[in-house]
């Protein structure tokens, strides 16, 4: 992480001015949330505070990241976080439990939607299209709409900020998770307990804080727009494109809200740490990526890997979470590998032939990391293989991801 902001961002902020004459709105929201919600990482309070402020000017941004509060068990503070957000965010939908698809897409425009008990949803597939389309400015879903005696196709605007909560991480579709900041909630120990939330007693304080956020948003709207449109945010370059997309609005607000450059550096560094926690790019929870990494590890000693789904699964038994036959086969087919008739020391059998280079390229493109090839080729200890046709050293009829003609582990 860089020691300071880029010169270009400093010049922009110098031109538009810092917020020295205004209250530190990020700190005010952060301190309020901290009174009632427990996060194990203090950096998450800055992320949530910037997200709250961003709901007051969502229309300025191309993308909006969702918050997703999850835990392994109930009573871990997820609903409490939504209750606090309900007090602070712009135009809250209220906390919705088991919403229908119509509720989600008909009330999305101009609201901040708060969605609880996601794990209990029975209509996840119906809601998924709204969630997946709604993180990008201009996102719409097309639905039939009754007008008099006729039905016509109408496009509903679904772009807007959302916070979701539920038990477990896999309750959201992988594509939806890719649009979220995943906040792990844990049950508080006695020494970690926060204040009880009594909304009626807090009415005057909440009203004052909301007015403060609203006034700051109005006063700084042009600054935020200018910084968002012109800044490069080099401290976000360490992340992938999707993470950068959903983080730039928060980075913009963190920078503009800072009362001086020292505070700006503190806040943006905290934000970067929070992004690393909530986006979890290094330890992907994507199951196919995990299986590809296991196969890549096997290919260090045996390149190319040759075997049926059953044979390759047996080679994975020593890994911490070995895949099932169905998971391994599904992953290989998902990425374009197709088994062909291959003779390996006996009768021909439907087998995959997968090179380490092919796996490494897939991980570099989709898994966020690229594993360098070894310095020296390792001698193969495998028995010779034969396919129905042999041309020199090329294996014909073995299909992998798109590549050169007929080479092992590559496409025809």
Q: Please tell me the total count of domains within the chain.
A: 2
pLDDT band at 15 (very low <50, low <70, confident <90, very high): low
Answer whether residue 2 is part of any domain. no
Answer whether residue 235 is part of any domain. yes
Answer whether residue 411 is part of any domain. no
**Domain boundary residue, one of 231, 253, 279:** 279
Strands 112-116 and 394-396: unpaired
Co-location of 369 and 299 in the same domain: yes
Least confident of 11-15, 27-31, 113-117, 172-176: 11-15
Distances in Å between the alpha carbon of 128 and those of 109, 171, 179, 362?
17, 11, 12, 26
Co-location of 186 and 108 in the same domain: yes
Strands 162-167 and 66-71: parallel
**Domain boundary residue, one of 233, 260, 279:** 279
Cis check for the bond before 343: say yes or no (omega within 30 of 0). Answer: no
For 76-103, the pLDDT digits (tens) are 999 999 999 999 999 999 999 989 999 9
Co-location of 242 and 391 in the same domain: no
Q: Which residue, chain included where needed, has tokens 């992004």?
A: 275
Most distant CA pair in the chain: distance in Å? 81
Query: Domain range for residue 270?
Result: 7-279
Co-location of 64 and 187 in the same domain: yes
Q: Which residue, chain included where needed, has tokens 């494109």?
A: 241
Please give the pLDDT value at position 305: 94
Alpha-carbon distance of 28 to 16, in angstroms, equals: 22
For 221-249, the pLDDT digits (tens) are 999 999 999 988 999 999 989 999 999 99
pLDDT band at 383 (very low <50, low <70, confident <90, very high): very low
Residue 59 has pLDDT above 90, yes or no: yes
Answer whether residue 15 is part of any domain. yes
Co-location of 151 and 32 in the same domain: yes
Co-location of 256 and 294 in the same domain: no
**Domain boundary residue, one of 220, 255, 279:** 279
What mean pLDDT do residues 263-268 have?
90
For 144-168, the pLDDT digits (tens) are 888 778 888 999 999 999 999 999 9
CATH number at residue 156: 3.40.50.300
Alpha-carbon distance of 409 to 337, in angstroms, equals: 8
pTM: 0.71
Co-location of 42 and 64 in the same domain: yes
Co-location of 205 and 255 in the same domain: yes
Answer whether residue 403 is part of any domain. no
pLDDT band at 9 (very low <50, low <70, confident <90, very high): low
Co-location of 219 and 314 in the same domain: no
Co-location of 273 and 323 in the same domain: no
Alpha-carbon distance of 215 to 374, in angstroms, equals: 58
Answer whether residue 293 is part of any domain. yes
- How many other C-beta atoms are found inside a 10 Å radius of the C-beta of residue 408? 21
Co-location of 268 and 293 in the same domain: no
Co-location of 63 and 179 in the same domain: yes
Answer whether residue 92 is part of any domain. yes
Answer whether residue 328 is part of any domain. yes
Q: What percent of the chain has pLDDT over 90?
A: 67
């Amino acid at each position: 992480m860089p020691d300071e902001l880029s010169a270009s961002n400093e010049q922009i902020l110098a031109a538009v001015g810092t917020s020295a004459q205004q209250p530190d709105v990020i700190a005010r929201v952060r301190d309020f949330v901290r009174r009632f919600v427990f996060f194990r990482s203090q950096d998450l309070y800055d992320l949530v505070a910037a997200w709250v402020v961003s709901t007051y000017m969502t229309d300025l941004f191309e993308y909006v990241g969702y918050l997703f509060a999850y835990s392994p068990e109930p009573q871990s503070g997820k609903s409490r976080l939504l209750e606090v957000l309900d007090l602070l965010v712009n135009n809250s939908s209220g906390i919705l439990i088991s919403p229908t698809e119509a509720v989600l897409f008909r009330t999305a425009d101009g609201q901040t939607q708060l969605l609880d008990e996601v794990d209990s949803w029975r209509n996840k597939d119906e809601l998924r299209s709204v969630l997946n389309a709604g993180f990008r400015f201009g996102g719409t879903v097309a639905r039939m709409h009754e007008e008099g005696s006729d039905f016509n196709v109408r496009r509903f605007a679904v772009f807007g900020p959302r916070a979701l909560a539920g038990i477990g991480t896999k309750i959201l579709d992988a594509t939806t998770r890719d649009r979220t900041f995943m906040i792990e909630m844990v049950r508080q120990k006695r020494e970690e307990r926060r204040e009880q939330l009594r909304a009626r007693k807090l009415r005057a304080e909440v009203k004052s804080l909301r007015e403060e956020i609203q006034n700051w948003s109005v006063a700084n709207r042009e600054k935020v727009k200018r910084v968002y449109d012109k800044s490069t945010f080099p401290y976000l370059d360490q992340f992938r494109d999707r993470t950068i997309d959903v983080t730039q609005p928060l980075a913009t607000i963190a920078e503009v809200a800072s009362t001086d450059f020292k505070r700006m550096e503190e806040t943006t560094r905290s934000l970067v740490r929070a992004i690393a926690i909530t986006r979890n790019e290094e330890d992907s929870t994507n199951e196919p990526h995990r299986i590809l990494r296991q196969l890549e590890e096997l290919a260090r000693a045996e390149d190319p890997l040759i075997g049926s789904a059953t044979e390759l699964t047996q080679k994975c038994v020593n890994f911490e979470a070995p895949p099932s036959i169905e998971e391994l086969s599904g992953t290989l087919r998902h990425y374009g590998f197709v088994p062909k008739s291959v003779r390996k020391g006996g009768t021909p059998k439907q087998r995959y032939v997968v090179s380490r280079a092919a796996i490494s390229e897939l991980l570099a493109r989709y898994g966020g990391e690229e594993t360098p090839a070894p310095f020296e080729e390792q001698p193969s200890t495998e028995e010779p293989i034969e396919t129905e046709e042999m041309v020199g050293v090329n294996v014909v009829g073995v299909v992998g991801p798109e590549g050169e003609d007929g080479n092992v582990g590559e496409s025809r």
